[in-house]
């Protein structure tokens, strides 16, 4: 997956979008991968 897509997913997550709202916006990325990106981002920001 391209880094720009990952950054877009993180920005939408920061803006308060839910996983079910983000996944249809990037159909080329599997929903499980979107969830993994969000989870990893949340873990990194808590440190």
Q: Where are the domains of the chain?
A: 3-46
Query: What is the per-residue pLDDT for 47?
Result: 76
Per residue in 1-47, pLDDT (tens digit) is 799 999 999 999 999 999 999 999 999 999 999 999 999 999 999 87
Could you please state the CATH topology (level 3) that the domain comprising 3-46 is classified under: Arc Repressor Mutant, subunit A (1.10.10)
- DSSP per residue, the chain: --HHHHHHHHHHHHTT--HHHHGGG-TTS-HHHHHHHHHHHHHHHH-
Query: What is the per-residue pLDDT for 3?
Result: 94
């Amino acid at each position: 997956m391209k880094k720009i897509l990952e950054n877009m997913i993180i920005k939408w997550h920061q803006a308060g979008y839910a996983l079910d709202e983000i996944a249809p916006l990037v159909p080329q990325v599997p929903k499980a991968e979107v969830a993994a990106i969000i989870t990893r981002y949340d873990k990194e920001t808590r440190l």
